[in-house]
Amino acid sequence: MLWLVVFLGVAVAIQARQSAAIATARRVATLREQRTALEAERSALERQIHVATSRRVLGDRAERDLGLMQPQDSQFTLFPIDRVRP
Amino acid sequence: MARATARITLIEVVLGLGLVAVVLRAGQLQLVEGGRWRAEAQRARQERRVLEARRGGIFDRNGVQLAVTQEYFHVGIAPNELREPGADARVIARALGMPLRTVQHDLATRKWIPYRGPFSGLQVQPLRELRGVHLDGEFARHSPAGNLARAVIGTLMPDSARGASGIEMALDSILTGTPGEAVLLKDRAGRRYDSPARLQREPVPGNDVYLTLDAELQEIAERALDEAMSRFEADGGDIVILDPHTGELLALASRKLVEGKVVANRASFFTDPFEPGSTAKLFTAGGLLARRRVTPGDAVPVDNGQLVMQVSSRGDTRTIRDAHKTNGNISLAEAIKISSNVAMALFSQRLSAPEQFEALRDFGFGSPTGVEFPSEARGALRMPDRWDGYSKASIAMGYEFQVTPVQLAAAYAAIANDGILLTPTLVREIRAVNGQVAYAHQPEPVRRAVSPEVAKILRGYLRSVLEEGGTAEGAQLANYSLAGKTGTAQKNEGKGYVAGRYTASFAAIFPADDPQLVVVVKIDDPKGTYYGGQTAAPLTRSMLEEALAARQSAIDRMRLVEAAPGAGIAAGAPAPESDAPPEPPEQRAVVVLPVGDSEVKRGRTLVPRVAGGSLRRAANALHRRGFRVAVHGSGTVMRTTPSEGDSASVGSLVTVWAE
């Protein structure tokens, strides 16, 4: 009788381990899918940001809508920012 | 009885033989053919799958994504497996961006619907929960920065993830990862199940490559070239921007007119050599100075810019003319400043052919630069034993040899770098998937082309080109010194030089005093105005102005202010009033003032009242009146020189004193 109990115990342990492995595999697959989706979203957003902030788009709009122009080097000044004293 | 016994014995023997046969067969199956049958069983229950490794990304020097690999999906739908075809059709149509009617029609009429896409992971995410929707993933290359630096990055082969051109090809083995392997479990119905216990080998992604390119400068260069193509109706052009102290290529742009359309995918800055014309005069000048064949007082007669030169012992002659005619004797410095062909032809006679060849070879001409790019051209520089009687003069003027724009930039970088020629590079860093730096570029000296003293003299010559009377006098910046050399070379199209067709070019060092950038601009066959000083040089100036005003730029502004007296606050820092050493400025900010042309009046104007306000407000008000501004001190503005209310010339310098 003991051998039957041992056999059942081992069988249940194996089954539990396999079930946990399959659940983990599903979880890993889900996370992988989410990561793929997030990467795609990030990439799409980066592309949109790149296009929207490119000189071709932003520069033209600034000139057309706001009347700004690309400054010549005599039209801007480099300022120092003093060291912040404690 | 005996017969019965015999029958029983026979049955026993038959059964025994049968048993033996069974045992033998079992032995054969288990022992002899066991391996084969085990493999067969495994094949039925398991499936091996190669796990594709993600290809490494390509980034600019600041981490801007230029080319990355993403997983894309093809979608397959089995209508008979869908739980709620009506609702599912709406989800599918919305996710894939397709008309609902098309999806409904497909679901109603077909047994299997393949939508090839490819669709991004974001698009297919809502479909993952739907039964009957099958996703087939594959990696594909994606360019978040659009076509930026397309010619440098290159492409992949259409049917594989291997590099076909550009950096994708040159660094293919570094970018390509190592595929992994997994075993999938299958049930009797053939359904597959993932199991982590069955992962044989994890795929290892490829390394990420960080280029030396600066996306901001690259965009400035590409945009400038597009404008030049349009403004000058040019056939093509190239722009190279390089850091002379490291050899790092910061921007590389090319355009070419092909069948009426402008294409941007040719890396002609590496692959297309051209005769540089006058931009190459400097290298013969370097050879003359290095070998002490010219002293500062030496001059040659230019005779109204025309020279008839005997080029053979038979009395054959060639006539050399200057575009900018002058009379009398001129020095080597003046020859560079006004780009005199006659003077350079005469000076070049002081070098032997091997010496002139060595001078050019020392600057890297005639050899590939060694940059990490496939199919880089070596240019063309013939051995001196193949030169004719005119070659020395011709080569001194920038003809009879060919250079790529990158070779020319590297040679100018040697002059900016106190005479040391560096190998130009495109790769700044290579990082493994765990973020560990596998390679970091260090400057690679090739040789000393000229001594530091000669390099300094040559930089002085280049500076004079942008001064009054120089061939690029209009291209000088107002506050920061630019040095450079113009070139206008007649084009040789195989059957000799073609009248009216030119290559305009300008090679510049910025700033002249403490060089940070070398810029080479080449414009092929500009229409109308074709001189390098009127086409490529102003383009260089406008690019540098954009780079100076850019929010992020490869230009070190702290070094720039120190090298440009009068341009910024560091120029006239007041003497410290106490014994304590002054605190060095730690950071600098650029203030860009949007001033329209209409707001700047010509002539003289009054200095506005700015005392009591902030420096920013003061600078803004003064710039609006058209003044240049120098700032002393920081904090609140106390006074200006000239004082408020005084009249001063537009464009003159107003010093602002602040405390």
Check pLDDT > 60 for residue B423: yes
B188-203: average pLDDT: 71
List B residues 97-126 in contact with A (Cβ-Cβ < 8 A).
120-125
Closest residue in B to A54 (Cα–Cα): B219
CA dihedral B266→B252→A51→B146, nearest 10 degrees, is 30
Both tokens of A52, joined, read 């929207």
pLDDT at B267: 94
Of B121, B195, B588, Cβ closest to residue A80: B588
Residues of A in contact with B120 (CB under 8 A): 40, 43-44
pLDDT level of residue B646 (50, 70, 90 thresholds): confident
pLDDT for residue B397: 95
Residue B287 pLDDT > 50, yes or no? yes
Q: Chain A contact for B629, CB < 8 A?
A: yes
Q: Does any CB of chain A come closer than 8 Å to the CB of residue B569?
A: yes
| Lowest mean pLDDT segment, chosen from B137-141, B149-153, B228-232 | B137-141
Alpha-carbon distance B629 to nearest alpha carbon in chain A (angstroms) = 7
| A contact set with B (CB within 8 A) | 21-22, 24-26, 28-29, 33-34, 36-41, 43-44, 46-47, 50-51, 54-56, 59, 66-83
CB-CB neighbours of B16 under 10 Å: 10
Is the pLDDT at B606 greater than 90, yes or no? no
B433-451 confidence digits (pLDDT tens) = 888 999 999 999 999 999 9
Q: Does B80 touch chain A (CB under 8 A)?
A: no
Q: What pLDDT does A82 receive?
A: 54
Residues in A touching B137 (Cβ below 8 Å): 36
pLDDT mean over B472-488: 90
Mean pLDDT calculated for residue range B163-181: 93
pLDDT at B444: 92
> What tens digit of pLDDT does each residue of B392-415 get?
999 999 999 999 999 999 999 999
List the domains of chain B with CATH numbers: 49-211 (3.90.1310.10), 216-558 (3.40.710.10), 569-658 (3.30.10.20)
pLDDT of residue A68: 85
Provide, as residue numbers in chain A, all residues whose Cβ is less than 8 Å from the Cβ of B65. Answer: 43, 46
Higher pLDDT residue, B239 or A61? B239
Q: In whole angstroms, give the CA distance from residue A7 to residue B382.
A: 88
Question: B477 or B427: whose pLDDT is higher?
Answer: B427
Residues of A in contact with B144 (CB under 8 A): 43, 46-47, 50
Residues B512-528 as b/e (b if ≥16 CB within 10 A, e otherwise) read: bbebbbbbbbbbbbbee
State residue B333's pLDDT score.
Answer: 95
pLDDT of residue A32: 85
Q: Does B499 touch chain A (CB under 8 A)?
A: no
Contact criterion met (CB < 8 Å) for A79 and B651? no
pLDDT tens digits along B308-351:
888 888 888 889 888 877 888 999 999 999 999 999 999 999 99
| Beta-carbon contacts below 8 Å between A and B | 161
Question: pLDDT > 70: what percent of chain B?
Answer: 92
Residue B428 pLDDT > 50: yes
Which pLDDT band, with edges at 50, 70 and 90, does A56 fall under? Answer: confident
What is residue B151's predicted lDDT score, i.e. its pLDDT?
A: 94
Write the residue in A44, A76, A82 that is nearest to B583 by C-beta: A82
The pLDDT value recorded for residue B607 is: 84
Q: Which residues, in sequence order, are CB contacts of B481 under 8 Å at separation 6+?
A: B463, B466, B511, B512, B513, B563, B564
Q: B154 pLDDT exceeds 60?
A: yes
Q: What is the mean pLDDT of residues A16-37?
A: 88
Q: Is B561 in Cβ contact with A70 (below 8 Å)?
A: no
pLDDT at B563: 67
What is the pTM for the complete model shown?
Answer: 0.78
ipTM of the complex: 0.74
Query: How far apart are the CA of B350 and the nearest CA of chain A, in angstroms?
Result: 42
Please report the pLDDT score of residue B653 as a whole number.
79
Distances (CA, A) of B118 to A37, A43, B73, B122, B156: 14, 15, 5, 12, 17
Contact B121, B163 (CB under 8 A): no
User: Could you tell me the residue ranges of all domains in chain A?
Assistant: 14-65
- Which residues of chain B lie closer than 8 angstroms to A47, CB-CB? 144-146
Give the model confidence (pLDDT) of B81-111 as tens digits: 999 988 999 999 999 999 999 999 999 999 9
Chain A hits for B479, CB-CB cut-off 8 Å, are 73-74
Of all residues in chain B, the one with the smallest CA distance to A52 is: B145
Q: Does pLDDT of B165 surpass 60?
A: yes
**Mean pLDDT lowest among A16-25, A70-79, B404-413:** A70-79
> Residue B306 pLDDT > 80, yes or no?
yes
Residue B577 pLDDT exceeds 50: no
User: What pLDDT does B194 receive?
Assistant: 63
Whether B7 shows a pLDDT value over 50: the answer reads: yes
CB–CB of B631 and A79 under 8 A? yes
Whether residue B66 has pLDDT greater than 70: yes
Q: Point out the least confidently predicted range of B9-18, B85-94, B126-135, B618-627.
A: B618-627
Nearest-10 Cα torsion for B96, B101, B105, B106: -10
The region of weakest confidence among A13-17, B343-347, B489-493 is B489-493
